[in-house]
Amino acid sequence: MSHAVVFGNAPSGEFKSRYLGYRLDFIEHGKLRLFHDFLMLNDDESVAYSKNQRKIPSNRLFAIAVNNKPTAHMRPDNTIDDEKLGRNPKSNDYKIRYALLKKQDYDEYSSDIPTLKQLQDLKRTHKVRVKKNLNKAGDKSYSVVVEIFSELDEEWKPIYGKLEYEPKSKIHLHKDSVKPNVVDSNKPTMPSPLPYYSMNAEFSVKGNIKWKWGNKSQDWLKYAVLDEATDTFKEIDND
């Protein structure tokens, strides 16, 4: 997955969009975040591409919204519990979930509304407002959804999801793995639950342990432990 998809590449403005769902991803310094992905559409609801660029997947326009503390919604196997996600009215996930509702989704006699996963599967069009930001160096950008138009309430809903750092380098998610299965049950199996590439090294998270693939040893090595107080991974001194 390219930098454009991870952090968004859409220009500032108002767009039709499609909600593509949420994903867990790491940003710099080992911080785990939950990203909500929005694909930008043209007025005729065709996919929007970067201007003067070829119509290839990496040139599609995206924007993101972010949950900076996703661990409250995670199961022991490092997947997101969709039933819990977006239940807290104060959370950014709930604001997104509510803003994506259509009138046919709402029953005034019931407290149940579709989950974010169910809303993703509906593949519907939503109007969003996007803000594109540049880092201090001016060489990397990220695009965030700042408002979603609620058809239920017929008004724009603010989405507060500040990215807590400015992107400095590209991060590529690892889709497929050619590594063999690991026998030790305490180590990640392949494909691992949350693999990603950073600085040409492969990492994986299982429980509160971050593992690093050793090219020389051809085995997983314990790399860092999650510090729940700061929601960051602390490297282990292996010396």
Q: Tell me how many domains the chain contains.
A: 2
Which residue in the block uniquely carries the two structure tokens 């503390």?
A: 69
Regarding whether 125 and 69 lie in a shared domain, the answer is: yes
pLDDT in tens, 107-156: 777 777 888 889 999 999 999 999 988 766 666 778 999 999 999 999 99
Same domain, 18 and 109: yes
Using DSSP's 3-state secondary structure scheme, residue 174 falls into: coil
pTM of this prediction exceeds 0.85:
no
Are residue 17 and residue 127 in the same domain, yes or no?
yes
Residue 196 covered by a domain: yes
Please tell me the predicted confidence (pLDDT) of residue 49: 93
- Domain boundaries, position 208: 174-235
Instruction: Pick out the chain residues at pLDDT < 70.
Output: 1-6, 28-30, 71-72, 135-139, 161-207, 213-219, 228-232, 237-239
- Token digits of residue 180: 């063999």
pLDDT at position 12 is: 92
Q: Is the same domain home to 117 and 185?
A: no
* CB of 203 closer than 8 Å to CB of 195: yes
Which residue bears the tokens 């968004």?
8
State the pLDDT at residue 112. 78
pLDDT on residue 169: 43
Is the alpha carbon torsion for 55, 100, 162, 164 positive or negative? negative
- Which helix (H) or strand (E) is 3 found in, with range? helix 3-7
User: Rounded to whole angstroms, how far apart are CA atoms 113 and 104?
Assistant: 10
Same domain flag for 18 and 77? yes
Q: What is the pLDDT of residue 136?
A: 63
Q: Flag whether 166 is in a domain.
A: no
Residue 169 domain flag: no
